[in-house]
Structures are given as C-alpha cells and as structure tokens.
Chain A
Amino acid sequence: MKINKTEIIDTYAEAFSMWSAKVIITAETDHWAQGAAQAMTGFATSVIGCKCEAGIDQKLSKKETPDGRPGYSVLIFTIDKESLGKRLIERIGQCVMTCPTTACFSGYETNDSVNVGGALRYFGDGYQIGKKIQNERYWRIPVFDGEFIIQENFGVKQSVGGGNFYILGSNSKSCINALTESIEKMKKVPGVILPFPNGAVRSGSKIGSKYKDLIASTNHIYCPTIKGVVKDSAVPENVNTCYEIVIDGMNEECVSEAMKIGINTVAQDGVIQITAGNFGGKLGQYKFFLKDLIK
C-alpha cells in the first residue's frame, strides 16, 4: 500500500482501554486559562512515568464555558478510575487552583464520576462554601483574589489510550517537517490529545527490559543507530530517522479520525514508510488497521 511515495505497512495500531476525564478550565482572560491548562497538562506524557497522560483538547469561547469566560478543555487519562480521581485532585489542586482568576468544571456528563471538588474543598480550612445549582454541587474556596470555584464531581468514562503510528524517513529534517503539519491537523480533532512534547515521541518504548526492574525500555528495533547489530531491526536500509505519534481519545471514533488525518498528511516526500505499534493483539482491546485509515 502506498500514499504518494510513502509505503504503508499492512499492520495495525493496538490501543487499550483507559479512563478519562474532561476538565473545563476558565479564567478572566485567555492568558490565565491557558496558563492553568498548560500547567495541568505538564509532565503527563505517559502513564509509565507520569501516572497519567494529559493534554489540551480545545480552546473554548465564552459561549462554550459554564461561566461565560474564556477557557480550555483538558483531557486526562489513567489506567483505572481510582487513580484518575487522585490525579485530578493533585493536578487541579496544584495547577488550576493556584492560577489567578481560574475556575474548574467537569466537561463530561456521565453516570460515572469521581469526587474532586469535594476533596479540594478542605483547602478552604472551614471557610469553604458549598452551593448547589440544579443537581450539581460546587465549592467556593476562599483564595487571595476572591474564590476558586470547582465542581464537586467530575464525570469520567472509559476511553481509548495508545493509538499510534510510526513514521520512518530518510532524515530527521524531512520527518520533522511532515510531522509538524500532520500534528497540527490532528490536534484539531475534538476529543483527542497527543500527550508527548508537541505531539511526537522519539523514544518509543517496548514492554520490559533486559534489566529486571524496568517495566519499559527503548523499542530497539526502530532505533536506526543500532540497526546493524539488531537482528530483527525494523528499520529499512534507506531509513535514518523514526518517530512515533501517540493518540489518546474519548472514544474509538475520534482516535480513528485523528489517525486517519495524521497518516494521510504525514505521507510526504522524505517519509519512506508508515507503520504502527502492536503487541500481537495481546494487550489492547482496540485495533486500528492502517489500511482502513488510508483515504
């Protein structure tokens, strides 16, 4: 299979079930809302080392936020529901509550929820005030510039993590150019995040290691510098650079949509091959076949 001159390997990306929450952060100005959203999604590239994966989903207009102020929606993913609650409390408490003028709301309306505001309220040291509007409880926590408003319960749901594809190119420059354009388009798909720096990974990993204490290590078969010594190297002769793009999404459809846009955009001159990571179907419930994603 080919798109332009780029070969598409007949394989699939294996993704797995994760729990996600959508957090709406608002503030007096876009500047402060963005600051809080960026802080909250920092150090959240991979559950392997960061305990969660997070990213900014969309910039929201005043009409799209609960309090009519500028805002951002942030998606955060963890392996289980319990740890999602913990990560939300940590990250909202340290990164959103601390940011001037912000407020924080749940972006999902689901039956499943975790108590976030109900835990953070104790920061109010007894001066916090709970308020109910319809069936939702909000907490008003006194802070230096007024009050931090946070919803008590945040909706959570089972989602999809680890959607991916690899691009293999003749050199770093051509790959980076193609990646940048592709990632910008993928980020516009609602309900997905690309949790790694600017959306791409150069240190793709495999499960396990020769060192017994490590749960993950470099996916050596895609490392060009050692292709001469790795017997099962997946790096073709004319390839000198590989990158991975990881996609987490609210559901299978949006991950698929983002992968489709990404693959079809990234297939440019200098990108020799596109493939995907899987574990032979043993790890994840979701399979995204590259052949189904080609326009």
Chain B
Amino acid sequence: MKLKLHTQPEVPLEAESITPAVINKLKVKEVEKIKIFHGNREVNIADFFSVSNNKLELLELEGDMHKIKYIGANMFSGEIQIEGNVGAHLGSAMSGGFIKVNGNTGDWIAPEMSGGRMHITGNGGHCIACAYRGAAKGVTGGEIIIEGNVKNELGHAMAGATMVVGGKCGDFTGVNMISGTILTFGEMGTRTGAGMKRGSIICMNNLEILPTFSYDCSYNPIYLKLLFKYLIENTKIKIEDKFFDGSFDRWSGDAIEMNRGELLVYSA
C-alpha cells in the first residue's frame, strides 16, 4: 500500500495505525477510513493522505511528515519505506520489522523499541531511542542506523540495542546506558556515557572523557571490523580504511555505576 500526504496538518497527527500489520491486509477504501488523531479530533486517513495499492508487501509513505507522530508504533513485522521527513515517536515500541526513512526525523524516535531495524538516511532529533522520563530502561533491542547527525540524549538508558550515527552527536550520548552499542563517526557533545553501567560507546572522533572513566589500553578491536564491514554493506556511511586497522583507546566506566561500560575512542 502507498500513502501520499496531500494536506499538511496544522497540528500534529497521531498515526499509530500506520503500520504494515494494520494497513497491508485492508483494501484501499478501508485504509482511507482508518481513524487517526489530528490534535484531539478523530479524522480519516483520507483527510490527509491519498491511498493507492502498490501491490507490494512494502508500506510506502511519501511527503513532508514532520508533524506526523507514531508512524510504525508497535510494529512487529513488515517494512515501511518513508520518502520525506517524519515526526516524533516513529517506531515507538516496535519489536520487529524494518523502517527506512529517506529524510530526517523528529525527536523521541524509537522509544521502548525491543527489536527490528530502523535506517534513517538524514538527521535525527533529540532523545532518540531514549528512556521515557522516570523509566528505568530505554530500548531493549533492535538496530538504529542514522547516517546524519543527532541531538542530545541518544540512547539514554538503552539496554541491548545497536545504534550507529554517521555524523555528530549532541550531549549526554549513552547517558545511564545499561548495555548495547553506540557507534558514532562525528563530533561528540559533552558527558558521553555519563552514568553508564555496561555497554560500548565507540567514537571515531576525540571526545571529553569524564573523570570517572579509567584508561585501560590501546588496541585494535576485531569486533569493530565486523561492525564496519556490516555498515559498508548496508549503509552509505563512509568508513575510512584507517579505522579498520587503527588503534583505539579503551576507557572503562562509569565508576559511579558498575564500571563495566567501555568507551572505545579512535586514536591513530
């Protein structure tokens, strides 16, 4: 099925029902009548999208959807391809399937994600894959690849996912991280890994190391060769040859927590 935005909403649309499991089993006329929220008013999908049958299992979305929230929420299978920007809470609580965004995303994407894959070719906002305020854990699984930049609090309290950022990161990347992997290629903001218990934050750029991290050694982690190879095969992130055979400084922390986390920082 293909949904093309024809009217820009004045206030955010909450479109939890735009998932392959809901839409792909319906006919065009039925999809047009699916209810979504425009602010606090219930409207039909057809009020904002033109619907057509692409005769594929793939759910295609097109248009500038920066005001549309919760696309792919609770998704557990299937595939969504989005051409254009998309709003907050994309893939909220998703547990499977694949979302590809050829554009930028808003804040708070992939909260409570436990599985599946998300690939964003543009930039992301604040609090990507971040735990909700008051929650002990954030995302618990899955994979998020963002080829561009992201803002603050990427992977706050994440517990088991893999995240890759091709560009810059804001402050507090991996704050309170419990486990999982964050790999970044651009400049880092301040306080990376603050309060992390376990997990890995891998940076290709120098960064401010908090005093509660202790230096271990300089070495070439074989694991990164596998990760880089995977990214080369599946993304357009440019990975320089020097990273494959380069040396990485390993720092353990955060000592204010379990001290089982690691920062791997490319050194030469």
Contacts and interface: CB of A to CB of B under 8 A. Distances in A.
16 contacts: A66-B226, A66-B229, A67-B226, A67-B229, A68-B225, A69-B225, A129-B200, A131-B200, A132-B160, A132-B181, A133-B226, A133-B227, A146-B220, A147-B221, A147-B222, A149-B223
B112 interface: no
B48 interface: no
B49 interface: no
Given A129-B200, A132-B162, A67 B222 contact: yes
A134 interface: yes
B244 A133 contact: no
B143 interface: yes
B159 to A, nearest CB: 12
Contact of B219 (A66, A134, A146): A146
Interface of B: 143, 160, 162, 181, 198, 200, 219-223, 225-227, 229-230, 244, 260, 262
Contacts of B229: 66-68
A140 B223 CA distance: 8
A267 interface: no
A165 interface: no
A146 B162 contact: no
A131 B244 contact: no
A138 interface: yes
B219 A133 contact: no
A211 to B, nearest CB: 50
Nearest to A67: B225
A132 B221 CA distance: 15
Nearest to A140: B223
Interface residues of A, number: 16
B226 A138 contact: yes
Output the residue of A69, A133, A138 with the most chain B CB within 10 A: A133
A27 to B, nearest CB: 10
Interface of A: 66-69, 103, 127, 129, 131-134, 138, 140, 146-147, 149
Contact of B230 (A129, A133, A147): A133
- Give chain B's interface secondary structure class: mixed
> Which of B226, B229, B262 is most buried by chain A, counting CB atoms within 10 A of its CB?
B226
Given A66-B229, A68-B229, A134 B143 contact: yes
Nearest to A103: B222
Contacts of B198: 129
Nearest to B224: A67
Nearest to B230: A133
Residue from B200, B220, B222, B244 whose CB has the most chain A CB atoms within 10 Å: B222
A68 B230 contact: no
A135 B221 CA distance: 20
B222 A131 contact: no
Contacts of B219: 146-147
Given A146-B219, A147-B221, 6 more contacts: A68-B244, A69-B222, A131-B162, A138-B226, A146-B220, A149-B226
A128 B220 CA distance: 17
B181 A131 contact: yes
Contacts of A149: 222-223, 226
A204 to B, nearest CB: 43
Contacts of B160: 132
B157 to A, nearest CB: 18
B76 to A, nearest CB: 15
Contacts of A67: 222, 225-226, 229
Nearest to B219: A146
A120 B260 CA distance: 20
A140 B227 CA distance: 13
Contact of B223 (A68, A127, A134, A147): A147
Contacts of A140: 221, 223
A67 B143 CA distance: 20
Contacts of A146: 219-222
B196 to A, nearest CB: 13
B232 to A, nearest CB: 10
Contact of A138 (B200, B223, B244, B262): B223
A68 B222 CA distance: 10
B222 A134 contact: no
